[in-house]
């Protein structure tokens, strides 16, 4: 029977042809789907849930839209988008850059790009789509999935195939000899988890003489080999160690990204609120400036009436000029902080955006639950000066919801912090490395086997060899036992000793990570308590400063005080208002930082957080 009429051989030939015809875009799409499935598996293993994940940029990024709509200058198309790049010479003709699963723009609901006002949640979402470091962190997760697929490929069936056609001419001798040598070869190999390696090949040769006479010969041939380790290098825990490590590295990448997201959104929120704080300082400075202008006008009228001295007028004018300088400086500081926030969001510093002032009102409302009643700032009965002084101790009165018991907070952190999970996982990795290094000290005892049927054809045998098909009864078979005694194992002994040192280091890393987590949690709880006390104190100070301004102003008009009292009270009011806003921001940031260090601040794929509720926490250890 003609070889190419054999259905098995024909199917193999067609398969070999088709596998080489896929476009770059098709290959990219397939490997992307494989990597995303791996990421889903590892998310479920690490987090107990699956979250949407994509490394593709939005179809239309906010950065691109702002730069186009606001006519922002840029150096090259790379400033807009990868797809804006001009193809270079010999650029692939297929559209493989259009593969993957592109995500929607984070600002699809924003109507006017020329006047963009951002809330805190808007800023988080925009940063998750435009921040370059955030994108790099996502790519690290994706790369770990690609590495895992490559490690898994070591234990899959590996197919290979080739087709060759050689035209040969031999001009030596009395007459020229020419001929055509055609061959096709396909092979499959597989490595199993127990260490067994198997490979097989089947090929076809067709040799045809063109000169000096017409002769042809074809043959089918095949061979197979197997290697079975019996001592050293056998067993799943040894052979599959690279795959096991790749599996765990992908898991660690998920943990790393989760912790990175938490730190990322806390940093964004901190910068956003700090920028709003400077914006509030502009308002305070403006109110202070206006108040001093009013005071200067008042003291001038009183001076004209002979009730105030020129020195007091000069003092008021000097303070007014200082207030103007502070007002202008606050505006400059705000622009600088806003530019820094733009960069953190992944936007050019020269785009036009605004922050939502309502965020400060929301912050004030949430802080009102912590600030105690300020109407009792002044005591109604003043004890004698020589009476014993009793200091009010630090209490948990009006404590916020995140000011939880220290022992509970530490346990929550130990249950949830990704860094500790990674450290414990790497400890297990180090233990496995010791077993692998110990296995390398053993003797190597291997069973080898091979079989070959048929033989290939050459141009020289075309005229004298018969056609040949696969004939297993004429095959050549071999079996071999190989023993390598563990006489020289210096390198292996050193590797084994180093693996034990690595294990000890991993134990120390677990201890250090655990202690660091405890320290951070304790410090964050102290920071939160200090921020609450500071918030309550600054609220009292602001109330007193307001009273003082009203009192001194009335006294000045009545002629019972001097202008210096008014100026000092207004300066104190400005300072207390700024300090109160700072205290509110500090307490809010302290809450977020504690949730971050507890490992309980949940952040989704769009950068939006879900805050932790201690009341709803069920004390259950996560799956290891």
DSSP for residue 421? H
How confident is the model over 27-71, as pLDDT tens digits?
888 999 999 999 999 999 999 999 999 888 776 788 888 888 888
The C-alpha atoms of residue 511 and residue 420 are separated, in whole angstroms, by 9
Query: CA-based angle 365:368:372, to the nearest 5?
Result: 175
Cβ neighbours of residue 442 closer than 8 Å, sequence gap 6 or more: 231, 232, 486
pTM: 0.85
Rg (CA), the chain: 39
The pair phi, psi for residue 117, each rounded to 5°, is: -110, 125
| Residue 555 DSSP SS3 | helix
pLDDT on residue 22: 67
Helix (H) or strand (E) holding 296: helix 241-304
| Residue 373 DSSP SS3 | coil
The C-alpha atoms of residue 82 and residue 85 are separated, in whole angstroms, by 6
Cβ neighbours of residue 607 closer than 8 Å, sequence gap 6 or more: 124, 125, 127, 128, 129, 134, 261, 264, 265, 268
pLDDT on residue 603: 93
pLDDT on residue 13: 53
Which tokens in the block code for residue 395?
């209490």
| Residue 431 DSSP SS3 | helix
- Low-confidence spans in the chain with pLDDT less than 50: 1-9, 11, 105-112, 374-375, 378, 619-624
pLDDT on residue 427: 97
Q: Of 296, 274, 260, whose CA–CA distance to 141 is shortest?
A: 260
The C-alpha atoms of residue 605 and residue 27 are separated, in whole angstroms, by 26
Q: Of 352, 517, 295, whose CA–CA distance to 419 is shortest?
A: 517
Helix (H) or strand (E) holding 19: helix 7-19
How confident is the model over 143-174, as pLDDT tens digits?
999 999 999 999 999 999 988 888 888 777 67
């Amino acid at each position: 029977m003609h070889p190419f009429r054999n259905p098995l051989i024909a199917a193999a030939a067609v398969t070999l042809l088709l596998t080489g015809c896929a476009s770059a875009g098709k290959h990219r799409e397939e490997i992307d789907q494989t990597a995303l499935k791996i990421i889903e598996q590892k998310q479920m293993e690490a987090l107990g849930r699956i979250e949407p994940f994509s490394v593709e940029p939005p179809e239309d990024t906010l950065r691109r839209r702002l730069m186009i709509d606001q006519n922002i200058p840029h150096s090259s198309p790379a400033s807009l988008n990868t797809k804006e790049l001009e193809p270079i010479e010999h650029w692939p003709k297929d559209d493989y850059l259009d593969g993957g699963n592109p995500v929607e723009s984070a600002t699809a609901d924003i109507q006017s790009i020329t006047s963009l006002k951002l809330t805190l949640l808007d800023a988080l979402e925009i940063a998750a789509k435009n921040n370059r470091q955030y994108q790099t962190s996502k790519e690290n997760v994706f790369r770990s999935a690609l590495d895992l697929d490559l490690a898994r490929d070591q234990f899959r069936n590996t197919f290979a195939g080739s087709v060759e056609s050689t035209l040969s001419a031999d001009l030596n001798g009395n007459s020229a000899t020419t001929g055509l040598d055609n061959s096709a070869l396909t092979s499959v190999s597989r490595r199993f988890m127990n260490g067994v390696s198997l490979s097989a090949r089947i090929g076809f040769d067709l040799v045809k003489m063109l000169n000096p006479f017409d002769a042809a010969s074809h043959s089918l041939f095949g061979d197979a080999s197997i290697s079975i380790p019996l001592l050293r290098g056998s067993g799943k825990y040894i052979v599959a160690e690279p795959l096991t490590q790749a599996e765990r590295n992908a898991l660690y990448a998920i943990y790393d990204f989760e912790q990175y997201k938490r730190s990322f959104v806390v940093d964004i929120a901190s910068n956003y609120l700090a920028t709003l704080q400077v914006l509030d300082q502009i308002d305070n400075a403006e109110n202070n400036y206006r108040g001093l202008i009013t005071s200067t006008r008042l003291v001038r009228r009183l001076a004209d009436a002979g009730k105030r001295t020129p020195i007091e007028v000069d003092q008021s004018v000097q303070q007014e000029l200082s207030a103007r300088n502070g007002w202008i400086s606050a505006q400059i500081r705000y622009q600088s902080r806003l530019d820094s926030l733009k960069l953190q969001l992944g936007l050019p510093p020269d785009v036009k955006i605004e922050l939502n002032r309502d965020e400060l009102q929301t912050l004030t409302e949430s802080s009102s639950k912590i600030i105690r009643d300020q109407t009792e700032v002044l005591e109604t009965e003043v004890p004698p000066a020589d009476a014993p002084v009793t200091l009010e101790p630090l209490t948990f009165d009006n404590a916020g919801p995140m000011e939880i018991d220290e022992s509970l907070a530490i346990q929550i952190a130990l249950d949830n912090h990704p860094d500790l999970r990674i450290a414990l996982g790497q400890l297990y990795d180090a233990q496995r490395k010791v077993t692998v290094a110990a296995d390398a000290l053993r003797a190597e005892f291997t069973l080898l086997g091979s079989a070959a049927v048929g033989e290939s054809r050459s141009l020289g045998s075309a005229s004298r060899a018969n056609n040949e098909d696969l004939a297993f009864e004429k095959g050549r078979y071999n079996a071999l036992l190989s023993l390598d005694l563990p006489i020289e194992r210096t390198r292996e002994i050193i590797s084994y000793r180093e693996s034990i040192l690595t294990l000890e280091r991993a134990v120390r890393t677990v201890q250090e990570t655990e202690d660091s987590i405890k320290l951070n949690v304790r410090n964050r709880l102290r920071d939160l308590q200090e921020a609450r006390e500071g918030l309550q104190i600054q609220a009292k100070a602001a109330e007193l400063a307001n009273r003082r301004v009203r009192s001194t102003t009335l006294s000045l008009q009545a002629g019972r005080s001097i202008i210096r009292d008014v100026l000092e009270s207004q300066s104190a009011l400005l300072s207390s208002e700024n300090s109160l806003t700072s205290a509110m921001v500090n307490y809010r940031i302290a809450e977020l930082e504690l949730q971050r260090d507890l490992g309980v601040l949940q952040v989704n794929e769009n950068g939006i957080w879900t805050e932790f509720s201690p009341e709803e926490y069920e004390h259950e250890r996560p799956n290891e």
